[in-house]
Copies of this chain bind each other. A is one copy, B any other.
Amino acid sequence: MAYDLYYWPTIQGRGEFVRLALEEAGAGYVDAARRSKAGMATMMKLMQAEQGTPPFAPPFLKAGKLTIGQTANILLYLGGRHGLAPAGEAGRLWVHQLQLTIADLVQEVHDTHHPIGTMLYYDDQRKPAKKRTAEFWDNRAPKFLGYFERLIAGGGGAYLTGRKLSYADLSLFQIVEGLRYAFPKHMKRFERDIPKLVALRDRIAERPNIAAYLASDRRIPFNQDGIFRHYKELDK
């Protein structure tokens, strides 16, 4: 089955966690809103539907008759179909739980530059952004990334849940990449504390399907409109 992925066409954003899973799985998909203006119009129309199951926000995935929204929910669906999550209930719930914890981290990263409101400009919230970013690096990043580091260490394998890759590993790759883009100075120091996570990032980058994707123009470069943004004054 070929999928239609709907996401904002100019950023990696939350859509990227889905793209990485689709690419690793070698699944056929169309990045619909990127492909054409008609795709973008369809995306907006699907969200505004008065009936049925309109998603609240992108990303969402059309898979046959299903329209699935919320990043972690899409990955729950794809994981089972493409061998990117354990088949049993316990393992499936565990990987999903990890993905939801990653989603919480993603929100906190976003809020470093937009602590007051998504609808406002960064320039209108620079002072609180500075405070929130300090909080992030003092408390939140160590807590979240330390947790994942501990899991990799405890599992004794190459990946988050042990010897087998899951979609949560792909998402952690994106977390490390994104933090390196947004906070190169912070990360340079901080990576000493998370060697296993960095090694995981490297293993993912070397996987053939991921390497091919990263080298392609299907991978949108990081930029200043996404979740991970680089502001010099926030990276000291």
Given contacts A117-B139, A139-B117, whether A70 and B132 have CB atoms under 8 Å apart is no
Docked complex: A29-74 residues within 8 A CB-CB of B: 49-57, 65-66, 68-70, 72-73
Say which residue of B56, B116, B135, B151 sits within 8 Å of A117 (CB atoms).
Answer: B135
Say which residue of B65, B68, B97 sits within 8 Å of A68 (CB atoms).
Answer: B97
Interface mask (A1-31 → B, CB under 8 Å = 1, otherwise 0): 0000000000000000000000000000000
SS class, residues of chain A in contact with chain B: helix
Given contacts A116-B115, A128-B116, A132-B116, whether A70 and B53 have CB atoms under 8 Å apart is no
Asked if B154 contacts A50 (CB within 8 A), the reply is yes
**Count of chain copies:** 2
How far does the alpha carbon of A54 sit from the alpha carbon of B94 in the complex, in Å?
Answer: 10
Judge if A121 is at the interface, Cβ distance under 8 Å: no
Say which residue of B57, B70, B116 sits within 8 Å of A135 (CB atoms).
Answer: B116
What is the CB-to-nearest-CB distance from A197 to chain B, in angstroms, rounded to a whole number? Answer: 15
Asked if A66 contacts B52 (CB within 8 A), the reply is no
Give the one of A65, A70, A90, A120 with max B CB within 10 A: A70
How far does the alpha carbon of A89 sit from the alpha carbon of B92 in the complex, in Å?
Answer: 15
Excluding A50-B150, A119-B135, A128-B131, 13 further A-B contacts by CB distance (< 8 Å) are: A49-B154, A54-B150, A55-B97, A56-B147, A57-B101, A69-B97, A76-B96, A77-B93, A111-B111, A116-B128, A116-B132, A117-B140, A128-B128
